[in-house]
Amino acid sequence: MITIRGNSLVPGKARGELVISTKPISFLGMVDPVRGEIVAGDTDLLNIRIAGKILAFPYMVGSTVAPYIIYRMKKLNTMPAAIAVQRADASLASGCAVTKIPLIDQVETDKLLKYKLKIAIFDGKNGIIKIDDK
């Protein structure tokens, strides 16, 4: 079991498949909140479902509308189970806080690439992601 540490921003626990983007994500335009899927943009997660998964990416780009999109995903039950980023901004943090999606930042997301699609245990309170490396 490997442990990745970060900085806790929104507490909570989650378990799910780890999906990782090496590129930033914008919730406005890139994410379809109805399907819980990345549908557009310069991303390595195109047509990948993020609903119920542990989503890791470097940082968020784009609009201050992101918290509303994240909230809509929560209402539709299509939101990620948890989010890990290298750098969180106020829009991402507030969207996760309002919807209670666990959020950790200061995570070296490029180190997670070799664990893509593995099951991860996310502890937002302590800023820890545990991954079975077998």
Write the CATH number for 54: 3.50.30.10
Domain count, the chain: 1
Q: Which of 20-24, 75-79, 112-116 has the lowest mean pLDDT?
A: 112-116
Q: Where are the alpha helices (DSSP H) in the chain?
A: 27-30, 66-76, 90-99
State the residue for tokens 């997670």. Answer: 112
Supply the pLDDT for residue 109: 86
The residue annotated as part of the active site, out of 21, 63, 91, 94, is: 63
The whole-angstrom separation of Cα 23 and Cα 109 is 10
Q: What does residue 30 show for φ and ψ, rounded to 5 degrees? A: -90, -30
Mean pLDDT of 39-56: 93
Task: Check pLDDT > 90 for residue 58.
Answer: yes
Model pTM above 0.75? yes
- In the structure encoding, which two tokens stand for residue 31, read together? 């994410």
Question: Known catalytic residue: 63?
Answer: yes
CA–CA–CA angle 75, 86, 91 (5° rounding) = 40
- Domain range holding 42? 2-131
